């Protein structure tokens, strides 16, 4: 169940559905944009206000069950959702629709959050951590089974009772609060004996240092943490406009950002009279980032057989790597990439397909992010590919492919890529933008194991000659890989000046600017074009860098849009080394003089070649005879 399949029934039942990536809304204006079109594969969220969600965010199974039963007892039987047990979320009709979020104290075992006006929760889809569907195990079913006006109502006094009840149970069970209750500085660990918690101005904590600390923190963190960071900046820099600008600039990179809100909070910090959060809070975040404990791995792993490597394309493209499909413009890289994702999506219906007419295709889920081409352009290419796919099987039609392709392929054209008004995956300083978490969430929700991104220059505004920035782009892509398990391929168009230029050993002259992207990536496929004698476009494709398997030999294909056809290599005459090996295989123990007689060419060259084959270990000399060395 996802946003696409649940949206209409949720609307019919009186709820306000929104598309969600992981746990975060997919749109910036999600509070105003209810039930937008598209976003079929996203998680389905519910906007709170008319409904209130009591989120028992507690890891102690016994206390979580006790609190769930208590809520059901005093507020009435209702539907409840589980994402990661024993945590549970109960949904009620809100007696105070304008009521905001309320929270209990935080204990070692967790806390209770009551989500009200302006919040949302995920109702259907896949939990981003467990990778399992959200479930509704209660006897009343889920929100598709019950209208909003049939939900029992909850009021403020009941919510207050629930929060106090949890705090009593937690303290009686021996749990201690891990936060100091405060409107501004809550949920912040505080130890009065720790020098870092002293409310003092820290002399060596500069604006530049704070900027680096903030760069390591997700701007979509909890509201409590967001305010704590702002308060500590305010105290450290005495409410300076420069510190406010830093907090606002960092906040603006998050999906929750509201223009003007940092300024309002900044003013309230100056009026706060309780224990302040000083710059020490920022240093604590820095300590968390800098902490690195080395434990090492014991040697047991050496003695157990390793698991076989898994591949997207057998013996060419391993799973869970970052690589590039690159070459000059006009070398059909994007077309080849679209072929790959559509072949993977359809090969259960049309078996025995080969990518680029050479590599067998296996089924899998893929996402094609196009930061370059709009849907109209991609539509023409995709439709041409589907028609080409069914040419070899007259019993099939395009409609026959629809169920499999709908289930296994997602396209994000340029108009969707830029819908959040953020053009790039990393900014000009190499810092990931809010797109990073959006891509991770969408990939995990769809459960894709292959991501194609077009093109490198459209996702990173980096100086093409800056090696360190190329490495940062690859690092960002590796973070997506690490958090999704997907293989990520980026299409990269080289400069026009490299078109037709002779490539070096790895083909890196055809990679735009510096080679740092390919140096840091695990895999590369180079596309170079030339005209055949008949005037047909001829592509030479080289597996310039490989991972977990040997490099595929270079090969050539012809292109008759949209189809790629493998050019069969003509048999070449064996060179003298091949002739020596074949003669020794056919005549084990053959003497040197007889072997020389069997070969063509000058005697000194034949003798030197025999010596070379022996030295390289292809044949061995025993007594007066030569024998072939088996692998």
Q: What is the pLDDT of residue 256?
A: 80
C-alpha span between 523 and 521 (Å, rounded): 6
Domain 576-628: which CATH number of 1.10.10, 3.40.50, 1.10.3470, 2.60.120 = 1.10.10
Q: What integer pLDDT is reported at residue 290 of this predicted model?
A: 54
**Which CA distances in Å does 388 have to 178, 209, 556, 613?**
62, 57, 20, 48
CATH architecture of residue range(s) 3-172: 2-Layer Sandwich (3.30)
**Phi, psi at 89, each rounded to 5°:** -125, 125
Cα distance between residue 369 and residue 3, in whole Å = 20
Question: Hey, what are 556's tokens?
Answer: 């050539």
Compute the distance between CA of residue 47 and CA of residue 26 in angstroms, rounded to an integer.
13
Question: Which backbone phi and psi does 96 adopt, to 5 degrees?
Answer: -130, 80
| Side-chain-side CA neighbours of residue 249 (13 Å) | 14
User: What residues does each domain of the chain span?
Assistant: 3-172, 195-289, 316-527, 576-628
CA distance 112 to 64: 10
pTM of the model: 0.51
| Residues of the chain falling short of pLDDT 50 | 179-196, 496-514
d(C-alpha 68, C-alpha 17), whole Å: 25
Distances (CA, A) of 303 to 299, 398, 593: 8, 51, 48
Retrieve residue 378's tokens. Answer: 């991609």
* Distance from C-alpha of 326 to C-alpha of 215, rounded to nearest angstrom: 31
Q: Decide if domain 316-527 falls under CATH 3.40.50.300.
A: yes
Backbone angles phi, psi at 318, to 5 degrees: -75, 160
Helix, strand, coil percentages, rounded to 5, for the chain:
35, 20, 45
From the list 459, 449, 499, 480, the residue with the least C-alpha distance to 340 is 449
The CA distances from residue 491 to 375, 448, 528, in Å, are 17, 18, 14
Query: For position 185, what pLDDT does the model report?
Result: 35
């Amino acid at each position: 169940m996802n946003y696409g399949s649940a949206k209409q029934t949720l609307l019919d039942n009186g709820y306000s559905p929104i598309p969600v990536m992981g746990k975060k809304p997919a749109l910036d204006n999600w509070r105003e944009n209810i039930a937008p079109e598209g976003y079929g594969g996203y998680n389905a969220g519910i906007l709170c206000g008319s409904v209130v969600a009591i989120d028992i965010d507690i890891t102690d199974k016994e206390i979580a069950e006790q609190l769930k039963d208590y809520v059901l007892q005093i507020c009435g039987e209702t539907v409840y959702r589980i994402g990661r047990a024993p945590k549970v979320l109960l949904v009620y009709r809100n007696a105070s629709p304008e009521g905001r979020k309320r929270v209990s104290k935080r204990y070692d075992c967790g806390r209770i959050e009551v989500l009200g006006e302006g919040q949302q929760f995920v109702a259907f889809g896949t939990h981003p951590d467990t990778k399992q569907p959200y479930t509704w195990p209660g006897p009343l079913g889920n929100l598709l089974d019950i209208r909003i006006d049939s939900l029992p109502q909850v009021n403020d006094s009941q919510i207050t009772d629930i929060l106090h009840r949890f705090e009593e149970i937690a303290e009686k069970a021996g749990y201690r609060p891990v936060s100091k209750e405060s409107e501004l500085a809550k949920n912040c660990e505080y130890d009065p004996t720790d020098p870092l918690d002293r409310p003092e101005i820290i002399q060596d904590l500069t604006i530049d240092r704070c900027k680096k600390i903030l760069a390591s923190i997700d701007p979509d963190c909890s509201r409590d943490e967001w305010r704590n960071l702002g308060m500590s900046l305010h105290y450290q820099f005495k409410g300076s406009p420069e510190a406010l600008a830093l907090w606002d600039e960092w906040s603006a990179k998050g999906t929750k950002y509201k223009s003007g809100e940092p300024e309002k909070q900044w003013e309230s910090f100056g009026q706060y009279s309780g224990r302040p959060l000083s710059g020490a809070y920022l240093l604590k975040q820095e300590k968390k980032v800098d902490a690195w404990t080395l434990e090492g791995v014991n040697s047991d792993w050496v003695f157990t057989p390793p698991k076989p490597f898994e591949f997207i394309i057998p013996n060419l493209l391993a799973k869970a790597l970052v690589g590039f499909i690159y070459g000059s413009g006009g070398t059909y890289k994007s077309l080849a990439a679209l072929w790959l994702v559509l072949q993977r999506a359809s090969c259960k219906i049309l078996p025995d397909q080969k990518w680029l007419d050479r590599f067998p295709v296996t089924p899998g889920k893929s996402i094609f992010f196009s930061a370059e081409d709009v849907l109209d352009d991609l539509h023409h290419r995709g439709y041409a590919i589907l028609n080409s796919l069914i040419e070899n099987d007259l019993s099939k039609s395009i409609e026959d492919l629809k169920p499999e392709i709908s289930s296994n392929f997602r396209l994000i054209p340029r108009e969707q890529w830029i819908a959040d008004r953020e053009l790039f995956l990393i900014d000009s300083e190499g810092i990931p933008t809010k797109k990073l978490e959006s891509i991770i969430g969408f990939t995990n929700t769809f459960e894709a194991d292959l991501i194609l991104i077009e093109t490198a220059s459209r996702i990173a505004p980096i100086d093409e000659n800056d090696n360190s920035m190329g490495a940062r782009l690859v690092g960002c892509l590796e973070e997506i890989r690490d958090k999704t398990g997907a293989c990520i391929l980026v299409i990269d168009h080289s400069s026009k000046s490299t078109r037709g230029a002779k490539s070096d050993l790895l083909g890196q002259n055809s990679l735009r600017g510096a080679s740092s992207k390919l140096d840091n990536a695990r895999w590369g496929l180079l596309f170079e074009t030339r005209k055949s004698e008949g005037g047909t476009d001829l592509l030479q494709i080289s597996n310039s860098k490989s991972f977990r398997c040997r490099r595929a030999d270079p090969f050539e294909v012809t292109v008759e849009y949209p189809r790629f056809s493998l050019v069969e290599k003509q048999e070449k005459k064996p060179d003298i080394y091949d002739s020596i090996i074949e003669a020794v295989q056919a005549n084990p123990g053959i003497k040197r003089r007889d072997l020389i007689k069997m070969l063509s060419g000058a005697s000194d060259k034949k003798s030197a070649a025999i010596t070379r084959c022996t030295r390289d270990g292809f044949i061995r000399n025993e007594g007066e005879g030569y024998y072939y060395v088996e692998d």
